[in-house]
Amino acid sequence: MLKIVGYPDRYSVAPGETIAFKISQEEGDHFDARIVRVFNGDSNPEGPGLRFEHVPTAADGRHPGFVQSIDAGSYMIAAGVPLLARTAFTFSAFVWPTLPNREDQTLAGQWDPAAEAGWRIIVAGGRTGIVVGDGSGRMATAFADGVMVPRRWYQLTVSIDPASGAVAIEQTPLVAYAKTGDAGQFAGALDVLPAAIDAPFLLAGTRERDGTVGHHFDGKIDSPVLLEGRHKGTAHLRLLEPHVPLPLAAAVVARWDFSRAIDTVDAVDIGPAGHHGRFEQLPTRGMKGWNWTGEEQSWTRKPEHYGAVHFHHDDVYDAAWETSVEVRIPDDMPSGPYALHAVAGPSDEQATREAYIAFFVRPPRDRAARTNRPKVLMLAPTMSYLAYANHGEHITARGAERQMGRLLTFGHTDLYMYDHAELGGSLYDTHADGSGTNYSSRLRPNLNFAPRYHSWLGGPGSALYQYNADTHLFDWLDKKGVAYDIATDEDLHEDGYALLADYSVVITGTHPEYHSTAMWDAMKTWVDRGGRLMYVGANGWYWRIAFHKQLPGVIELRRAEDGIRTWEQEPGEYYHSFSGEYGGLWRRLGRPPNVMGGVGFIAQGFDMSAYYRRAPDADDPRAAFIFKDVPDEIIGDFGLVGGGAAGIELDCISVPLGSAPNILRLASSDGHSGMMMLVNEEFGVVLPNLGGDQNERVHADLAFYETAAGGAVFATGSIAWCGSLLHNDCDNNVSRITWNVLERFLDDTPF
């Protein structure tokens, strides 16, 4: 098990800026830290070996260590709501429970946990109830008698008179089904009267004694309202009509309209007092509400149909840990991949007591300060790292070993993920209620964004995927003596084309899958203006993501309509709440990856990697520089990722999808197994021959083309390509081809 974990407050930091590391340590009271440059994170004994280089900084030395926890679970808080229990009041809302049988979920309340005073409206065992406390140790509860059905809309109304203890609960399904017994009522008096306490109003959670928030509700809440006096559910419905009776309007204490400001964390109160709230830990917004009819699919065009917010007890945006180490990056620190190495004791088979917390030093933010920079920029695909953050399908999903074609082994990191759901999952995982994870934040430990991590998706051999697979490229660039800068794709989103403008060559990571519109536009502009792109991976420019305009370090994904999806987005919820943009595949948005990198996603398989076979275009004079000193017909029949250079995920040429008509097919992969299968956007009906042992379309293409502005694009079409670079101390045909391309791309002579 891991005994020390952490995260940086940013993935990218410029010289002269400060980066903070947040660390939790389960054993001992201190840890030793140092900054290292990361060259190779592959601990495979058959590979070249781990390689780090200590970089002296102010972080060096011993630091206090202690346990830090994550207060997961989303909720809404409104601090200015008056003390409701002074007089009779009513709470109404539309509710769509997803885990109604979980015990003691708070829908709404004003509660003092230390005094056990106030009131909470709850869902427990599928029934709506109320809990009251008078602050003297006495508490009382009451429940409606119907049991709610998961994923069905209900109107809930609870009224209480603190003077008499009279309580009424209405639990009304919006669509009635025979013999479900989900309608519920209660009318009676409690023998304990709720204390009127000075506490904030919370929706979907309750303050605990230790200051955290617990008792979270799982499901959607729409149109919550607080009224003075006791009212029935019909009053709630009348508030939604165009003309509200004056006495009812005068009774409104707060009336939150979640269809307002959907792209923010603001909970807008349209009542007279403006008791606006704030959403914490990012519940999902832009969700269809109780009144959604399907007539409109975009919340931007009919927001009144998207007044629901989906809360989860395992939502997390910010772990909010205290800073353990803070260091100012020296002005002369070279751009590159780095990590904070934190050690809390010796590791053994039972426990890992050290952590490598990865980050990148980027070029100076001020473009005027970027003098004498290298010609090469490596663009680290951190948004893909973030999309896969704490990816736990191999732990939670059935059939993972069948999909991989091999037995999966768990390490200390995997076990830690299993035991710590509060870390939050990846965009491939589902919440505990079965809904897909739409948001992923870097303000929490990202356990698979680290050197040494072995991924279940990484193929036999080194089992590297995402960041750790990219360390093969870091190592190769260093061993070949290539001067390069590194920046992240989050930097690209923020800085746009200006980040790339001064570089002749951009090299991708092995899996640049996730891109915002700003990232896509900036890269395409740079390529079209003569840039030389080396796309040394596969499955790039696949999904569109969006960034939040208020909160740093979080992305959103809507898995709309098509593509490799481990879960499916609900119909009507395909538009990003952060930006209002339509989500899904860039291919379905009219921008296939072939338009950018020349090739596009065609197949995936995680058993064994194959090799490339030289194609006739390799003999074209335009490609002569690529095959300098490479006469071989077979390319890459070796490698640390699956045993070959063509594997994991593959891209191929498709002119109809946007591959340039002048593109050269230099080589194509061969010898794939039946586990390497066509991706589902490549067929309309299910074919009997999806695997690479039967379908000739399952292959990677090594490709090259020139652009009209004198630039060029080289694409390898395989995630496993970089896993072959270091073979035989870089003396191999994969390394030679990659070097030949880079050498020519560094030559300013136009193509």
Beta strand 532-535 with 712-715 is parallel
Residue 751 lies in a domain: no
In tens, the pLDDT along 681-703 reads 998 888 899 999 999 999 999 99
Residue 366 lies in a domain: no
Contact 587, 593 (CB under 8 A): yes
What pLDDT was estimated at residue 36? 98
- For residue 421, give its domain range: 378-745
CATH code of residue 461: 3.40.50.880
Structure tokens at 137: 């140790």
29 and 151 inside one domain: no
268 and 337 inside one domain: no
Residue 237 lies in a domain: yes
Residues of the chain scoring pLDDT < 50: none
Residue 369 lies in a domain: no
What pLDDT was estimated at residue 251? 97
Residue 252 lies in a domain: yes
How far apart CA 522 and CA 362 sit, in angstroms, is 17
Strands (E), 49-196: 51-55, 61-64, 75-78, 89-97, 105-112, 117-124, 127-134, 139-143, 154-161, 166-173, 184-189
26 and 137 inside one domain: no
Sign of CA dihedral 267, 268, 269, 275: positive
- The full 3-state SS of 717-744, as one line of letters, equals CEHHHHHHCCCCCCCCHHHHHHHHHHHH
401 and 465 inside one domain: yes
| Phi, psi for 311 (deg, rounded to 5) | -95, 145
What pLDDT was estimated at residue 405? 83
236 and 281 inside one domain: yes
456 and 307 inside one domain: no
Residue 448 lies in a domain: yes
Provide the 10 A C-beta neighbour count for residue 138.
13
> In the listed set 311, 330, 345, which residue is the last one of a domain according to the structure?
311
pTM exceeding the 0.75 threshold for the entire prediction: yes
CATH code of residue 125: 2.60.120.200
408 and 507 inside one domain: yes
283 and 340 inside one domain: no
**β-pair partners for 76:** 203, 279
218 and 264 inside one domain: yes
Structure tokens at 404: 């991989």
Contact 167, 141 (CB under 8 A): no
Provide the domain count of the chain.
Answer: 3
Buried b / exposed e along 696-729 (16+ C-beta atoms within 10 A) = eebbbbbbbbbbeeebbbbbbbbbbbbbbbbbee
Helix, strand or coil, per DSSP, at residue 411: coil
Residue 371 lies in a domain: no
61 and 113 inside one domain: no
Structure tokens at 728: 């035989």
329 DSSP 8-state letter? P
256 and 326 inside one domain: no
Residue 504 lies in a domain: yes
Buried b / exposed e along 581-597 (16+ C-beta atoms within 10 A) = bbbbbbbbeebbbbbbb
276 and 397 inside one domain: no
